[in-house]
Amino acid sequence: MERRFKALQAQYQETFMEIDMMKLEAKRSREQLRASKETLDDVHMEYSDAQLRLNRIKADWVLASALPGQYIKET
């Protein structure tokens, strides 16, 4: 009976160790997710900025090609 109790006690401790390991892994995963979301937000902002610059360049090009010799870009 005592041997059975010790075996159950060891199993209980192992189970709680596994739970603690899973909690740590979940914490690491949440941190990785947070960092990934921040990176994704940064990439979205850079993409939006690049799109704005591209649209300005396209608009300048349209003006320059529509008015050859007359177009002076204002800066």
Residues 26-72 pLDDT 10s? 999 999 999 999 999 999 999 999 999 999 999 988 888 877 666 56
Q: State residue 24's pLDDT score.
A: 98
- Burial of 8-26, coded b for 16+ CB within 10 Å and e otherwise, reads eeeeeeeeeeeeeeeeeee
Domain ranges of the chain: 1-65
Q: In whole angstroms, give the CA distance from residue 44 to residue 42.
A: 5
CA distances from 35 to 39, 41, 56 (A): 6, 10, 32
